[in-house]
Amino acid sequence: MYVCICQAVTDRQIIAAAERGTERLADLRKELGVPGDCGRCGHCAHALLRQVIESRRPQAVT
């Protein structure tokens, strides 16, 4: 699914970037150009990054 129409960047590309260690939206912008000038994808791209980062964290044992 396209997250950023302007730069033609998909969710898979963002997930792959996060799995390579990209954690900040500023770094994602350098790597993939997302979010670009219109910025409409910024919230979705950031949420996707956070989702991957959170899934990598070890779960607390309760």
Check binding of 6 to ligand FES (CB under 6 A).
yes
Q: Which is nearer to ligand FES, 17 or 41 (CB)?
A: 41
Least distance in angstroms from the C-beta of 59 to ligand FES: 32
For the chain, the DSSP string reads: -EEETTTTEEHHHHHHHHHTT--SHHHHHHHH--S-SS-TTHHHHHHHHHHHHHHHSPPPP-
Among 14, 22, 28, 35, binds ligand FES (CB under 6 A): 35
Contact footprint for ligand FES (CB under 6 A): 4-7, 34-41
